[in-house]
Amino acid sequence: MNHFFFTYGDGVGDIDLNKLLNFHKSHGKLATVTAVNPPGRFGILKINETNDVEQFNEKPDIGNSWINGGFFVLEPAVIDYIPDYNVAWEAEPLQAITKNNQLSAYKHNGFWQPMDTIAEKRYLEELYLSNSAPWKLWE
């Protein structure tokens, strides 16, 4: 059995799967995660020692922060890192893979959007229904 793709299914992106796979193959690791810059979701407060708000940024661009975008390429040996069905992938398995220097990050700078809230669901539906969904790469 060869490498395989894995995703959570709660987000979409215009990730070029061929580039992701080629990146994974070129790095020789057990796992590759797609790293994305998250959309600003909350207002950021800068609070001083007397609890005065010195700065307020509503939904700022997070910039150089990278998060797990939920799209992976994995080698079959990652199964050895999963002790049983009750273990969350992000907990013990992914942390152990990282500790063993077997996780690489494919940085995706294109479109990526989670669907964790009703507002995000509506946003994604609106994009799809208006034929402007960046992740819709088929047809």
Predicted confidence (pLDDT) at residue 139 exceeds the cutoff of 80: no
Each residue of 102-130: pLDDT tens digit? Answer: 999 999 999 999 999 999 999 999 999 99
Residue ranges and CATH numbers for the domains of the chain are 4-129 (3.90.550.10)
**101 has a pLDDT exceeding 60:** yes
Run of H or E residues at 56: strand 53-57
Structure tokens, 26:
């070129």
pLDDT band of 62, cuts 50, 70, 90: low
Q: What's the average model confidence in pLDDT over 85-94? A: 91
pTM here is 0.82
In which band, very low, low, confident or very high, does the pLDDT at 32 lie, cut at 50, 70 and 90?
very high
CA–CA distance from 106 to each of 14, 21, 68, 89, 115 (Å)?
A: 13, 10, 10, 18, 21
> What is the distance between the alpha carbons of residues 112 and 120, in angstroms, rounded to a whole number?
12
Specify the pairing of strand 44-47 against strand 112-114.
Answer: unpaired
Q: Report the distance separating Cα 125 and Cα 108, nearest Å.
A: 22
